[in-house]
Structure 1
Amino acid sequence: MPTVLITGCDTGLGVEFARQYAADGWRVIATCRSPDNADATQAIEGAVEIRRLDVSDHAAVEGLARDLDGTAIDVLVSNAGIARPHPPFGETDYASWRRILEVNLIGPMKLAETFVDHVARSEMKVMAFVSSRMGSIGLNLTGGSYAYRSSKAGLNAVVRSLAVDLGPRGVCCLALHPGWAKTEAGARVEVETSVGGMRGVIHRASRHHTGTFMTYDDQPLPW
């Protein structure tokens, strides 16, 4: 039975990742900031283990890794993130920006460093990071969203470097854009479609795809 570790399973994409992997017979380690309130995740049938984790709490990340010592993690899905608020220029909330960077950028790096041995000992050896096309500098034609854009652009840079550094260990590192998934009002892409597409990209990936930035529907994005 392959194993997947998914962060941010309290709501939205994380719940759907857990649901789809469990439905396919995987062992799912679903992490949540508040497991007691993660009703949708608790309702998933299958081999699902719910663990408490805030990815900005480095001691907690290390503790989970120790608990899972010896476990081979085929796919690590770094999904936990903060998308809002997006204050305009001149109204920047710097405390909020720091929190976004802690969760969206530094947290995923800590996950990679802490769980690399778990992933490297698996058969698939994939680290997938949920990014956003808003992290693409080349596609930024509308400005704004300084905190969120910078966190995802930074994440993309981290993924690219991880691909180089972890290549000798056979670990494939991917940055994935989920589309404008219907986790918020006005969005267009069904959550099931977004997650199913990202899982397809993950499972088609080989060493030759490491360090790439892809949409959920398998299209490359510019950095």
Structure 2
Amino acid sequence: MPRCLLITGASRGLGRALTEAYAAEGWRVHAIARHAHDLGTVPNVWVHEMELTDRKSIATLRTRFAEERLELVINNAGTWGPKAQDLGPIDAEAWIDAFRVNAMVPYYVAEALADPLARGRGTVVTITSRMGSIGDNGSGGDYVYRSSKAAANMVVRSLARDLAPRGIGAVALHPGWVRTEMGGPEAPLSIQESVDMMRRTIAGLTLKDSGKFLNLDGNALPW
């Protein structure tokens, strides 16, 4: 039986590259995307059309995967938020929306999939950012993105504690500064470089790593 994983935000950027890489390796990949047609047809990939900002939609994962055994869940879906994020007027609703996507969705996905993860002795990897590190913030600004990713890191830390009795790990993973739509053309890493490094780090994770905030190369980052 092939190894099985689920990934959110699978239709573009890092999410799509991770989906294709795991599928090419023979994993059975459940890809969550807002529009199924964005992924097309990829061998070993089962696409689930879902609006992740809708809690009722996420809750359906509980029944969709009632008999499944998941070894890995990658919470990849994320957003930068509004353009204006430095000191000054910031759109409050857009800030709340960023919190919903970056911090709340990873929690609800992990909570809904706890049973299949327990059956697979699996790991929840949440793609976060070192911009969510309080200890590493030496430049200020970017209030929406930074605060929502810091919240995501705390969600991971709590999940690690609460899921440990069921043999499930939880890790926060920084993908590096990557040339995606969000990262922009000046980023030093290509999507493929980031994905290759993250996959090596994920492959080496054990329960001893649960609760950690890691760089894509596996080194620990400051909270």
Q: TM-score, normalised by structure 1?
A: 0.94
Query: What is the deviation of 1:35?
Result: 1.8
Aligned mate of 1:74, from 68, 71, 75: 71
Q: Distance in 1 between matches of 2:137 and 2:83?
A: 15
Q: Distance in 2 between matches of 1:159 and 1:116?
A: 14
Q: Which residue of 1 aligns with 2:205?
A: 205
Given that 2:81 and 2:95 are in contact with CA atoms closer than 8 Å, whether structure 1 keeps it comes out as: no
Given that 2:61 and 2:113 are in contact with CA atoms closer than 8 Å, whether structure 1 keeps it comes out as: no
Structure 1, gaps ≥5 residues long: none
Q: Which residue of 2 aligns with 1:14?
A: 15
Aligned mate of 2:120, from 101, 117, 122: 122
Residues matched between the structures, number: 218
Q: Distance in 1 between matches of 2:161 and 2:173?
A: 17
Aligned mate of 2:154, from 157, 163, 185: 157
Query: What is the deviation of 1:85?
Result: 2.8
Q: Distance in 2 between matches of 1:210 and 1:15?
A: 25
**SS of corresponding position for 2:104:** helix
Q: Which residue of 2 aligns with 1:60?
A: 57
Q: TM-score, normalised by structure 2?
A: 0.94
Q: Distance in 2 between matches of 1:145 and 1:10?
A: 26
Given that 1:78 and 1:108 are in contact with CA atoms closer than 8 Å, whether structure 2 keeps it comes out as: yes
Q: Distance in 2 between matches of 1:205 and 1:64?
A: 25
Q: Distance in 2 between matches of 1:132 and 1:101?
A: 14
**SS of corresponding position for 2:136:** coil
Whether 2:140 is the aligned partner of 1:143: answer: yes
Q: Deviations over 1:145-187 (max 9, x none)?
A: 1111011101111111111111111111110000011102211
Q: Which residue of 2 aligns with 1:222?
A: 222
Query: What is the deviation of 1:13?
Result: 0.6
Aligned mate of 2:89, from 68, 88, 91: 91
Query: What is the deviation of 1:30?
Result: 0.6
Structure 2, gaps ≥5 residues long: none
Identity %: 38
**SS of corresponding position for 2:60:** helix
Q: Which residue of 2 aligns with 1:106?
A: 104
Given that 1:86 and 1:148 are in contact with CA atoms closer than 8 Å, whether structure 2 keeps it comes out as: no
Given that 2:82 and 2:95 are in contact with CA atoms closer than 8 Å, whether structure 1 keeps it comes out as: no
Q: Distance in 2 between matches of 1:12 and 1:51?
A: 18
Q: Deviations over 1:20-58 (max 9, x none)?
A: 10010000001101222x1xx3253x2101111222211
Whether 2:133 is the aligned partner of 1:131: answer: no
**SS of corresponding position for 2:29:** strand
**Which stretches of structure 1, 4 residues or longer, exceed 2 Å deviation after superposition?**
none
Map 1:17-28 → 2, pairs under 5 A: 17-28=18-29
Q: Distance in 1 between matches of 2:94 and 2:165?
A: 37
